[in-house]
Amino acid sequence: MNSFSGLGFKFDPFEHLDSARDAHLQEYLVIPKAVEITLLDQPIAVFAKPGGGKSALRIYTARFYGDSRGVRFPVTYVPEMYSTDGNLHFEGIKLSLARAVFMYLVSYPDLFFGLTPTTKQKIKQILLDLPYGLEFHLNGLTAERFVTDLEQLLGVSALSGIHTLDRAHQQMALELENISIAESSTITLDEGFDLLDDAFGVKSIHILVDGLDGFVETKPAHALITWIEPLLDILERWDRKNIYLKFFLPMDNSDVPTVTTLRGLRTAALEWDDGLLAEVIRRRVFVASGGAFDSLDALSAPDVRNVELILARQLGEKQKLPRWIILKSRNLLQRAIESRKEWITNEDLFARKPSYVVI
C-alpha cells in the first residue's frame, strides 16, 4: 500500500469531516430509520449530538428536494449571529431565500425568459437581499466561471447537474440588470414565498434550520429554544401554506417541553449503534472503490475480518458518532500506507495508541 489510489479507491472517502465540502455525500450517506421522516412534507425537529450527522442530514435533505426540480423547494437557514430581535430569524430566512432563488435561476436559466415582466421585477426585488449585493453576482454570471464557485460563495447547491455558466446566464444577468425598480423597493418574506409558486410552480417550501450548536456552548439548553421561539410560533400557520420548518437541533434540547409538546411538530433522534457506524464506512468504501468491494476486509490480511464493526466497538461511548469512525478509519488506512504493508493487519487494527490525525 502506498496511497489511497493504490488501495483501489477512486477518491479518499474519509477526506472530509465537513459535510458541506463532501461532493460524494449524497452517494453514501447512511440515514437511520428514525430520521427518515425528515424528508416528509411536514415540520420536523431532528436531535443529534455534535458530530452526530445533523449537518450531513440537512445537506442530504436539501439535495433530495433539489431532485424535484423545484417542486419541493429547499431553503437553508443557518443563523449568522445571535440577537434577541424577534425579527432576526425572519430576516435571516429572507436572505437565505434570496440565495436559494438565485441558485435556482442558475440551475435553470431558460425558465427565467418565459416569466412575465412583473414576475421578473419581483424576482429582482428578492435578489436585492443577496450577500455582497446583486451587482456583484450579476457580474459573476457574465464571467466564465464554474457553478461550484457560486455554490461555495453562497453555501447553496445548484438544483441541477449544471457545471459551467454559459450564454443563457449572461443573457439573464443582462436582463436582470436592465429591469428598473425603485431603490426603496422591497418584498416581504410572505410575498417571496408566494412568488415561488407563481414563478416556478413550487408546491412546498422546506426551510432547513441548522448551525445552532455553537449557541448552546454558552447558554443553557432551554435558552436555544427560547431563541427560536418566533419560528415555533409561526410553524402551524406556515404548515397550512405548505411551508415546512425542519430544525436540526442539539441533543440537549430533545426533552425541552416547548418542542416536545408542540402540536404539529414531529421529532426524531439521530442516534448511532455499532452496526450503523460500521455501515457508514462500508458505504463509503463501496462508492469510493467504484463498487469493487464493500468492506475494508478486502484490504485486510486473511485473518482480519469485520474491520468496520471492530472499529465501531473500539470507540468510547461519547465517540460513537460518524465523525469519529470516519476519522478512525482514515487513521487505520494511513498507518497501513505509511508502514508499506500489503494488507491491513491485526497489529494495525488493534494499535494501542492510534495517534489520531486531525483532518
- Mean pLDDT for the chain? 89
Q: 3-state SS of the chain: helix, strand, coil percent to 5?
A: 50, 10, 40
Which pLDDT value is given to residue 357?
46
Widest distance between CA atoms in the chain: 74
Instruction: Supply 12's cell numbers.
Output: 479518499
- In the chain, the N- to C-terminal Cα span, in Å, equals 20
Which pLDDT value is given to residue 66?
86
Arithmetic mean of pLDDT, 140-168: 84
Which pLDDT value is given to residue 244?
98
Question: Predicted confidence band at 356 (pLDDT cuts at 50, 70, 90)?
Answer: very low
CA distances from 359 to 14, 24, 31, 356 (A): 9, 17, 23, 9
Nearest to 16 by CA among 7, 8, 27: 27
Q: What percent of the chain has pLDDT over 90?
A: 64
Say if residues 130 and 99 touch (Cβ distance below 8 Å): yes
Q: Is the pLDDT of residue 261 over 90?
A: no
Beta strands in 44-134 (DSSP E): 44-48, 72-77
Q: Is the pLDDT of residue 1 over 80?
A: no
Instruction: Supply 193's cell numbers.
Output: 414565498
Residue scoring higher pLDDT (283 or 352): 283
DSSP per-residue string spanning 316-343: -GGG-SHHHHHHHHHHHHHHHHHTT-SS
Beta strands in 66-176 (DSSP E): 72-77
Q: Is 248 helix (H, G, I), strand (E, B) or coil?
A: strand
Radius of gyration of the chain (CA): 23
Residue 11, Cβ neighbours under 10 Å: how many?
Answer: 15
Which pLDDT value is given to residue 35?
93
Q: What is the pLDDT of residues 57-105, one digit of tens each?
A: 999 999 899 888 889 999 999 998 877 787 999 999 999 999 999 999 9
Which pLDDT value is given to residue 347?
86
Angle between helical axes of 117-127 and 88-107 (0-180°, round to 10): 130
Q: Is the pLDDT of residue 215 over 70?
A: no
Q: Is the pLDDT of residue 191 over 80?
A: yes
Q: Is the pLDDT of residue 266 over 90?
A: yes
Q: DSSP assignment, residue 300?
A: B
Which pLDDT value is given to residue 50?
86
Q: What is the pLDDT of residues 5-50, one digit of tens each?
A: 778 899 999 998 888 788 899 899 999 999 999 999 999 999 998 8
DSSP per-residue string spanning 184-200: T----HHHHHHHHHHHH
Arithmetic mean of pLDDT, 246-264: 89
CA distances from 8 to 70, 178, 188, 305, 347 (A): 37, 53, 53, 19, 22
- Whose cell is 415561488? That residue is 196
Beta strands in 19-166 (DSSP E): 44-48, 72-77
Q: What residues have CB less than 8 Å from 240, skipping those under 6 apart?
A: none
Which pLDDT value is given to residue 86?
78
Which pLDDT value is given to residue 2?
54
DSSP per-residue string spanning 164-180: B--HHHHHHHHHHHH--
Arithmetic mean of pLDDT, 188-209: 95
Parallel/antiparallel/unpaired status of strands 243-250 and 44-48: parallel
Q: Is the pLDDT of residue 189 over 70?
A: yes
* Calpha distance 289→298 (Å, rounded): 11
Q: What percent of the chain has pLDDT over 70?
A: 94
Which pLDDT value is given to residue 223?
82
Q: Is the pLDDT of residue 358 over 70?
A: no
Residue scoring higher pLDDT (43 or 146): 43
Q: Is the pLDDT of residue 341 over 80?
A: no
Which pLDDT value is given to residue 297?
96
3-state secondary structure 18-43: CHHHCCCHHHHCCCCHHHHHHHCCCC
Q: Is the pLDDT of residue 286 over 50?
A: yes
Q: Is the pLDDT of residue 354 over 60?
A: no
**Is residue 205 within a helix (H) or strand (E), and if so which, with residue range?**
strand 204-209
